[in-house]
Amino acid sequence: MAGNKKSAGGAKITIEYYRSAIGFNEKQKLIVKGLGFGKLSTTREVADTPAIRGMVAKIPHLVRIVEG
């Protein structure tokens, strides 16, 4: 099927939301929410895709890649 694209080998990365988005612009807050974070100091395991890597690259001061 055309709509079922998967990342290479199902690769995953673990990212941690370690710094609050308070005081940053709305676009950065929406990226944090788009990554699935709601609370500070939480970690998420997400697919390692160019889209996710791009989102993390936009807010490196708020999130960190733990492993992957």
Per-residue pLDDT band for 8 (boundaries 50, 70, 90) equals low
Q: Does the pLDDT at position 1 exceed 50?
A: no
pLDDT digits (tens, 9 = 90+) for 11-65: 999 999 999 999 999 999 999 999 999 999 999 999 999 999 999 999 999 999 9
Specify the CATH superfamily of domain 11-67: Ribosomal protein L30/L7 (3.30.1390.20)
- Bigger pLDDT: 31 vs 9: 31
pTM of the model: 0.81
Classify residue 10 by its DSSP letter.
G
Domain ranges of the chain: 11-67
Q: How far apart are CA 38 and CA 6, in angstroms?
A: 25
Q: Which residues does residue 67 pair with via DSSP β-bridges, in sequence order? A: 14
Q: Does the pLDDT at position 6 exceed 80?
A: no
Residue 13's Cβ-side half-sphere holds a number of Cα atoms within 13 Å equal to 18
